[in-house]
Chain A
């Protein structure tokens, strides 16, 4: 049996580990830097416990127990080489460090991209070497929607996604007209709607838009022996106490139950070991990790998968001598190839979503804090689509609107303290503008890929383990700023149309609708509370993106000229080193990222299991040919799913 090492236990790592272990050909060692807050993983039943709670102090006011420590493991930031070595040190978009990764704190939106989103560059008239949008590296994806669709479907079933599309006779009826075709319905129907999602949705419907319940990887009913959600209201930022959030842990559970996987937590991988083999190609031979006491251990492996986030995977590659950890800044607008990274693009094209938030406070108590964080989305502002036939390059590409949102009173109190004090503050708390009467839109705006937005190694700073920290160089492109400005008034118009005579909620009306700046400063080391910034009314604008949607750095491409990984996540110079995760994204369509991370991770795992890939370059026909063998993996390893039956 071959030995595989998967670095990271989030959505991507757990998915790859599950497939490798289920295949029977691999023994998988999963290495996770963070703690394991679960009990019973890999045990005989689905009675998995955890240490999470509805605790607004520990999880939202203090630095939460799953947060990467900004003093012990800082990152640095600057807008680009012209700004000096760095302009900020601390928490720069770090994802949770724990078994389960980003699927612990997320609010579990599980969205597919659309057909047009994989081919927008060519629809706009661009080519691989001449992007349609100037100043960007805009590109088509190596795979298209028709390739990824079965993997979206299988992951929706494995994870457990609730959503509105259902089967009627032989057809799938989908109330969301902005989505592309699907071959299967959702695993579960939508759960209870939230009033602060319904109100703007109803207003949007009257204005001619088509909002719909949002596909969410939270159980709306007991599913595969896992509990249903009770709409406790402590969702985004919190671990789920009853495990109704479908996250990486269920795939880990599956993997461990094969008896061919082992999970080690609190081990920090500090180097990928590799050697040069025949034909000048490289092989990963294992990894070296450090335990909390500082001792290092080397584990040998036949296969290494880096699934520790786009930024950390780039950093780990760089400290292992793969790619350019210290690129030439004078030539940062060009690729800088090396033996280990013939693309010269490892770490480049880093993307985040540009989030635009519009809030409304309504006159009545709408129980904003009850239920899942947002139960509906409106996809009208993602850009024209869903198929090439409907595409219109003149429509700006923004993002979906998440509808809902809530604040608990501790956070609310800090916000209210910006304008009220003492008895007056308390009166406002009793009115509850943010915990009782709030609704919001958050637009997950598409972010243009730029070669000058990148991760490298900070030249000076190391973390508590002595390893150089990642440095993020990033600034927004005018395209996404313009799209945000274009859609903001349309968002405000919907909020202003909430309730009133003639609506389904005649007694409700909007008192105030505002666009707010959500680019808040990360908590500084030595300042444990983000709320402090509100108290001081000193919310300094900075250009560090607030979104935890991290993409790019490992773009999957048909040839090394266009990205550091092949269509199946393999590093071009290596036979057996892969990235799985958001790093593979070529662009950043305006949807939540996790389901696409899952689908791509399934592709990576299926390619390894079935032996697809390994070429020095691919044509589109090669990708089509590989698809058949990838689908065999679904039939073989997930034969109990609707999609496997549909593929037969």
Chain B
């Protein structure tokens, strides 16, 4: 058994399955006491069950680790507060919060329902806030703590059919950058992981959707691969554990992409090229200069296609 998180207390939301589960297991192996939070819902957010969280807690205890289950939904302020309180009530303190809990409800934007939008924003974006806010109250008082959120290449690059998920995940990246600035002065570290992993979430994306993207020449969110990529959920946990440990002191406000054996620092958006003029631009002036300056090299990620015959 490792020592890297000895005596730390951690919360992992969505800890019952996939990426969250493997983080719980490695945290416990490294000596942390873990609150395994999972509502036990389906991939689309419906239903609930005690089983996923309980099974992970059972697995941790069987291996000699310390863990307790929590089944609250992250989507309410009360849920977030109760998850944090479970750590305090069970283990007396809180050091680490990790928030991979998420669902998927893919749909092209012109067909997306209000319910599909609201459900995804609630679990990912508000569900990150509800837990982070209550943890930050403690972190500020104790002048230490570590928050690790989950973003996604779907939001950072954009992925067709995921307007809700892309909004939520890029929203989490922005939330993380702001909270890093709120909390850094109190000795707290706030960072985000963009994971590449095959889980039951990605299994809900139909193969036909991937094929359509390829056939239509639409750029997908997949970052260019270094080599044939592994996509094991278990591959995300080691770097998250490093980030949660004292080894990452001073690392605050960044997004990291983790997939298989790859760990990358993502850049925050930065100015590429600038046009400046003395006075106010006219549309014609911009039109005359844009293509050869800012517009050069710009690639349309989904170029216009000819309409298919017989369809509208």
On whether the two chains bind one another, the answer is: no
A residues with CB within 8 A of B: none
B residues with CB within 8 A of A: none
